Each structure stands twice: as C-alpha cells, then as structure tokens.
Chain A
Amino acid sequence: MRRYVWASVVLAVFIAYPLLFSTPFEQRLGALVLLYAIAASAWNIVGGYAGQVSVGHVVFFGCGAYAAMGAYAHFGLSPLVGIPAGIVASVAIAAIIGVPTLRLSGHYFSMATIAVAELSRLIVTNTDYLGAAVGLSGPTVPRNVFDLSFISALPYYYLFLAILSLTLGITWWMANSRMGFYLRAIRDSERAARSLGAPASRTKLYAFMLSAGLTSVAGALYAMMFGFVDPESGLGILISVKILIMAALGGAGLLFGPLVGAAMLVPLEEISNNLLGGKGAGLTFVVYGAIIVLIARFQPGGIVTLIKRLWARRGKAAEAPVAAGASHAP
C-alpha cells in the first residue's frame, strides 16, 4: 500500500514540474532528464538486473533514431511509423550480438558491444542512404500533429513521462516475474543459478532483447525532439557512456536508480555546457569519468543504495521505508 502512495507522489511531482518551472530552459531540461531516464532504465534491465554491462547500447538508440528519421526522409511518413521498425531492428541486432557473447564471461560481452557500436558508426558514416556523415533530418515544418515536431518542450515532456512510466512499469513487472528472479540469481552467481536449473543464457538474451527494444524507442524520441540524427549524436560511443553512467550513478538494478542518475547528471551537463561553452564538453566528460571511477571504487550500488543504507541506519529496527517499487531488492 505504502509503495503505491509513494509512486503516486513521485508521479504527481513529475506531472507538476513543468507547470511550476515553466521557462523554456527548465521545461527542456525536464524533458531531457526524462528522455535519458528512459534510455538508462532500458539499459538497467540488462546492465543492472542481469549484470551484463553493455557499452554498445547506442547501437539500439541509433537504430530507433535512424528508423524514425528514415521513415520521414525516405518515405515522407511520420517519424512515429519508424518506431516499430527500429524496435525490430534493435531486437534482431541484440540477438545477433547476444547469442555468442552472453555464453562467455561478462568482459567479452562488454568488449563485443563496444566493437559493434564502433562498427555500426563506421558503416553508417559510409552509407549514403543513411545520410553518411551528415545524417538524416526530420520534418522542418510539421504537417500535422503526428510529425511530433513542436517548438515548446512541454508536449515532449509529457510524452516522455508517459513512455518512462511505461518503461518502468515493464521493468517492475519483469523484475517481479520469474524472469526477474532468474536474472538476480544469475547476476549473483551464474554457476549456482545454472546448477539449480535457471536457463541462464536464454534469460540473459531475453533481457538484452527487451532492453534493446526499449532503448530504440528512446533513440526515436530523441531524434524527434531534435529533428535530426547524425553518426555522432545517434551512434557515438559517448551516448552509451551517458546512459550507462546515469544508471550506475543512481543505482544499477534498482527500479528508480536510472531516473535518479539522470536527474543528477543531465542538469550538471546542461549547466556546465552553458557556463563553459565548447571547452566545457571535454571537462564534462572528465567529471563523468571521475564520477564513474569513484562509484566503482567506493559505492558500486549507486546513490539510491547509499540513501537506503543511511535511511535504514536512521530508522534502525523500524520498517525501512525505502523508495517505492525498489523494496524487493536486497
């Protein structure tokens, strides 16, 4: 019961945010937080729950972005039509990478995903049909509402909020299903899980495919909001890095971890870019790198785990009132 009260409060805060903070900058910031939270939550399914660290999620992000822009650029259709195509392509790619590498130890998986990401970027950069180095653009002037091309960030904000709720709903459902229990068992000890009959490779693969499909939706939404995609913004390895670090900072394997991470890092990046200009891009990633190293070294569970521990210490024996939905985690 308590869990649902908390979830409703969180949702109410998010619905109210753009009305309370109504400058274009603040609304855009809010929309970006939600967008990255969608991508990071999708990553969390395979990176957090299954414990398989993908560094190539940008491939799925790019699939979605290119499918959405391609639907418009080549067929004059609404970018929305591209979303299913992007999902199908992403899930297929995930299966192709996942089948061989998920049998191996986690390092191989991470390396293979990096190689696939770089390979895709190189291929797309040299493919004229996908706009090569220039990329693809969406509709410059919206023909109707289905082009999803708005000047204000407000419609995007609520669209992203809906998709994020859906993503978190799917994650929550998955985590509490048989699959979620398998995944946690595999993450803690794959050998033990296998010996008890959990189908490890297959479960990891399903998680990877689910995660890939949801990431591609995030990519499509990103391309719609910005109105274009090019190899750097759609397939650059730094997109993977952002997604991964947000989930890890907030708390990998926790439902609300990625949202917390995105809410901390997106404003940090936007503000540092505003203050420092072009020179700030390098510095932002120096800070990102330092944050990742510090999390790995001192707090692999992320911020949410840290807060939960502090909270539990304060509350002591009393029932630990942890963040909604995350209470099933150890």
Chain B
Amino acid sequence: MTSTIGMIEPGRPDPADRADGMAVVCRGVTKTYGSGSSAVRALRGVDLEVRLGEMMMLVGPSGCGKTSLISVIAGVLDRDGGECSVFGEDFARMKSARRTLFRGRTIGFVFQAFNLIPTLTIAENVAVPLLINGSSMAAAVRQARAILGEVGLGDRWTDPPARLSGGQQQRVAIARALVHHPRLIVCDEPTSALDHATGEKIMEILRSTAVGTDRSLVVVTHDSRIFQFADRIARMDDGMIVGISGADGTP
C-alpha cells in the first residue's frame, strides 16, 4: 500500500514557497505571564528557525519556556512581542477564525497525555482533524483506518483508547497528528509518559512517518535518550535559546 503520510494534498499551495525553505521563523519572541511583582517572563526574546524537512528538538530544564515557545509556534498562545511566522504566515496578524482554520490545516499535535477522547474509538479519534476540516464521517474514518495501519494499529480501529497501552495510545496520537497532512507537527514531551523502549519505538515511528521534505517537526522534550532522533537540538534556559546543535553535539 502506498503511504499516505507525508504527501502534499493536491491543489493546496505550498506555503514553504513563501518562506525561503523555513517552516518556522521566530525573532525576539517574548511572553510574560501575570503582571507586577507576580509576573513570570517565560520567553525573553527567542530566536529560532526550523527548516523544512527537519526534526527540531527543544530541550531544557522544566520551566525554561519550552512549552510556551511551542504554544506560540502552534498558534495556541499569543506572544507579547517579537515576530513568529509559520510557513510565512504570522498568527498574530490573523483574525481568530482564520487563525483557527490555518491551525487546523497546517499543524498536527502530539501531546504528552495523548488527549485522546476516551468515549470514541481510536479510528474516530484519528478522524477528528479530518472532520474539523469538513470531511464526512465515513470518509474520515476510512482515511483514519488507513493511517492506523501504517502505525501498526490497523486491526484495533474499533477499540476505545482505554484498551490500548500507553505506547499504542501515543501511536494513535501520532496517526491523528498526521492524518490531515499538516506541514508542521508539534510534539510536547511525546515520550515522557512511556518507558524507554516504547519511547524509542515512538520516536522511530515519528522519524519514519512524520518527517519529510515538506514537513517539519518540533519536539519538546527533556528526555535525553531520544536526542539521537533529532536533526538539530535547540537548548533553552530561562526563556531563551542558549545554543543550537546537531544531534551529535556539533554546532
């Protein structure tokens, strides 16, 4: 069977053409929670570029701003200052409805806690992004079943998430993040709820199915055992990028 993962949807313009080979470009991004004496400066002028077709890992200690940065990149959190564009489009310059639409078509999400809806089957869970983008239930579930086959869960499509192990649930979450062919996938601690072997397996699946010439991944993690899967690693500390290197440590 031909893989459906990584394909550009026919007829859709390739936003990368407008972004000089960059999926994400952040310049001087700042974000502060609260105000006055209780203000917390989560991002203090972050500069980051994520290239097309690469897996970028954001690493650093807890509270360093990784999740805030990925939230700004994914358009689910408003930044206070600086600039940030995804495939040349700036969320801050979009109206709410356009931002929601853009996010639904362009970005796939993989969460630490999977966030699978427990009352739906795994096929229905995977079908959600397609339904949001206007597919019919039958067509969406058909596509969902196909992609579940590619992550090794083709025969479990009628099961609810609770019947699956943590690793299997994360595979479902990956299938959900890929099913609508997004150009950027953001993963928040995708392996932290899994044991080492399962975490490696998940990263292998992500690496083999999600990364493509037209698709980029931003993975937030502090699990050093999976650094080997990254193309580049951005180290964060205290709300800033303190260094970017290859997976082998080369600058």
A and B found bound together: no
| Interface, chain A (partner B; CB < 8 A) | none
